[in-house]
Every structure is written in structure tokens, then in C-alpha cells.
């Protein structure tokens, strides 16, 4: 249950939240659910919405998807208050953040593949595969073809989700040493969003429940990077298909462009997203 007054007390006046899509396909109703939550909560708090294009995955992101995304937002009448640099334009910021981590924490090169990690870790159904630390003491050189990891260390992260209430997570037990750059030289999602939220002074992170388990590691990483006051997190419900899976671009779920082409009014799309996304306001 969302207590808007309690949320307001936890935030500064005119808080900043963000809508942060990845241009890896055409957006569908699930993305609109997130957008409706972001814009509705921001307006209710007299806050601001930052649009941030998260195109760190250079192998899947396409300019045509970004153009379509901006067209769809405009058609829906969702206008951001500010626009952040694309993640593909932010390499210097991520490099500076990695340098800071390297000076103050244990950062190392890793040549493990997904197969190597899978062979060394216990496979637990429904849980992510934990990196067991095979390369932590190998002192490999930082060179192309090797990823970069940071040691998160043991311990518990606690936070109060604005909708789901008190949460406790153990990042090291969940994921092990966190990958911050992959073997192709791409910055990872966990690292890039944590750096961005810190440098852009994001106060409130509104996102789907599928990302709840990422929160503890992002809180710890943000603190390691010097963030003194973490953002407030709010994880909202997802639209699920009959088989229990969430909507996805990869599955070809109906996109907003198809709804637009079918003549469905944007207000109707927004109302449907709010209804199916469980927005309580």
C-alpha cells in the first residue's frame, strides 16, 4: 500500500525521479505502466521527471527504437521536465567512478565466462547465479576481453520500499562480486544506473517489482561511490501474461505503436496502464 504523505516526508521539496527506458525494442504497455507510475507520483509530490535513455547495451540498442520511444511518449502526452545525457555519452563519468572505486575498494579483472561461472556455482531454481570469486586473487591484467568486478563484501542492506515496506537483502550472497564492466567493454546496468542516479541527484527511483532484488547492491555500490543520502525506492506491480511472465520486447508483445495505429486514444492507453499496473491514486 502506498502512503503518499509518508513518502512526501521522506523526500526533499520538488523531488527528482526518472523514466529510464532502454531503446532495445518498441515500448509496450508494461513500459507505459512504469511511465504512468513515474509521472503520476511525481506530479502528486510536485516533483520533476528526468528522461534518461539507458543505452549502455550497445549490442541491442538501436537509434530507430529511441526515435520511436520519443514519438510514443509525445503521443501519450508524457513530457519530461529534463533530459539526461544518454548512457552512451557518459563514458567519462563511468570511468571516473570506476577510478574512485579502484582507489578505495577492491576492483579486479575477470576472465570468467557464463559457462565458467555456472560450473562453479550452485544452480538454485528461481535465483540468480552467484559469482563465486574465481578471479579475485588471480591478479589478472586489465585488458580487452576481460570484465571488471568490484568486491561488495559481506553484510546486510536494509531499506524501506515506499510501497512494499521494510526490506532486507544481502548483496554478496545474492550476486557475489559485482560486474561493473563486461568483457566487451560495456558498462553494466547495475553500475551505470547507480552512477547516474548519484550524479544526477535522483531522489526517488520508481520501477517494477522485477528490479527489487537489485536494490541492495545498488545501495551498497552508491555508498562505496560516496553517496551519503540514498534515493527512496518504490517498486510497483508488473503486468503479467497468463503464463506468469512479464511483458517483453523480445517476446513481441503488442507495442504502443500498434495501439496508436489501431486508433486507440492515448488517454485510454494511459487509463488501461494505470488500471492493470495497480496505480492506487
Residue 208 sits at the vertex; the CA angle it makes with 253 and 50, to the nearest 5 degrees, is: 100
Distance CA 281, CA 113 (A): 45
Residue 147 scores a pLDDT above 80: yes
The confidence band for 267, taking pLDDT boundaries of 50, 70 and 90, is very high
Pairing state between β 82-83 and 107-110? unpaired
The confidence band for 13, taking pLDDT boundaries of 50, 70 and 90, is very high
Centre a 10 Å sphere on the Cβ of residue 147 and count the other Cβ atoms it contains: 22
Cα 1 vs. chain centroid, distance in angstroms?
22
Q: Which residues are CB-neighbours of 137 under 8 A, at least 6 positions away?
A: none
Q: Quick one: pLDDT at residue 57?
A: 87
Residue 22 scores a pLDDT above 90: yes
Residue 185 scores a pLDDT above 60: yes
> What average pLDDT does the segment 84-104 reach?
96
Residue 200 scores a pLDDT above 70: yes
Judged by DSSP in three states, 189 sits in helix
> What average pLDDT does the segment 95-108 reach?
97
% of the chain at pLDDT higher than 90 = 83
> What average pLDDT does the segment 191-203 reach?
98
Judged by DSSP in three states, 202 sits in coil
The confidence band for 232, taking pLDDT boundaries of 50, 70 and 90, is very high
Question: Is the model more confident about 26 or about 121?
Answer: 26
Q: Quick one: pLDDT at residue 44?
A: 97
Q: Which residues are CB-neighbours of 59 under 8 A, at least 6 positions away?
A: 184, 186
Q: In the predicted model, what is the mean pLDDT of the chain?
A: 92
**Burial class (CB within 10 angstroms; exposed 0-12, middle 13-18, buried 19+) of 137:** exposed
Centre a 10 Å sphere on the Cβ of residue 166 and count the other Cβ atoms it contains: 8
> What average pLDDT does the segment 173-193 reach?
96
For residue 54 the three cell numbers come to 539507458
* Contact (Cβ atoms closer than 8 angstroms) between residue 217 and residue 190: yes
Amino acid at each position: 500500500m502506498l502512503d503518499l504523505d509518508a513518502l512526501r516526508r521522506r523526500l526533499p521539496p520538488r523531488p527528482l525521479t526518472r523514466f529510464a527506458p532502454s531503446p532495445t525494442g518498441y515500448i509496450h504497455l508494461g513500459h507505459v505502466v512504469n511511465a504512468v507510475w513515474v509521472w503520476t507520483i511525481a506530479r502528486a509530490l510536485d516533483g520533476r521527471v528526468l528522461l534518461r535513455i539507458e543505452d549502455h547495451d550497445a549490442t541491442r540498442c538501436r537509434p530507430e527504437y529511441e526515435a520511436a520511444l520519443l514519438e510514443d511518449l509525445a503521443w501519450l502526452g508524457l513530457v519530461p521536465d529534463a533530459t539526461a545525457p544518454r548512457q552512451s555519452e557518459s563514458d567519462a563519468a563511468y570511468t571516473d567512478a570506476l577510478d574512485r572505486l579502484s582507489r578505495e575498494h577492491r576492483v579486479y579483472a575477470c576472465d570468467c565466462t557464463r559457462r565458467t561461472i555456472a560450473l562453479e556455482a550452485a544452480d538454485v531454481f528461481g535465483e540468480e547465479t552467484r559469482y563465486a570469486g574465481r578471479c579475485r586473487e588471480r591478479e589478472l591484467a586489465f585488458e580487452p576481453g576481460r570484465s571488471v568486478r568490484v568486491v561488495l563484501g559481506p553484510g546486510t542492506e536494509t531499506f524501506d520500499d515506499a510501497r512494499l515496506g521494510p526490506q532486507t537483502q544481502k548483496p554478496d550472497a545474492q550476486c557475489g562480486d559485482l560486474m561493473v564492466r563486461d568483457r566487451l567493454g560495456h558498462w553494466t546496468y547495475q553500475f551505470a544506473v547507480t552512477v547516474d542516479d548519484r550524479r544526477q541527484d535522483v531522489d526517488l527511483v520508481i520501477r517494477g517489482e522485477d528490479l527489487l532484488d537489485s536494490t541492495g547492491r545498488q545501495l551498497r555500490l552508491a555508498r562505496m561511490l560516496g553517496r551519503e543520502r540514498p534515493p527512496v525506492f518504490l517498486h510497483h506491480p508488473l503486468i503479467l501474461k497468463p503464463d506468469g511472465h512479464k511483458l517483453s520486447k523480445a517476446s513481441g508483445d503488442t507495442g504502443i505503436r500498434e495501439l496508436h495505429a489501431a486508433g486507440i486514444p492515448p488517454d485510454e492507453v494511459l487509463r488501461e496502464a494505470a488500471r492493470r499496473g495497480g496505480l492506487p491514486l
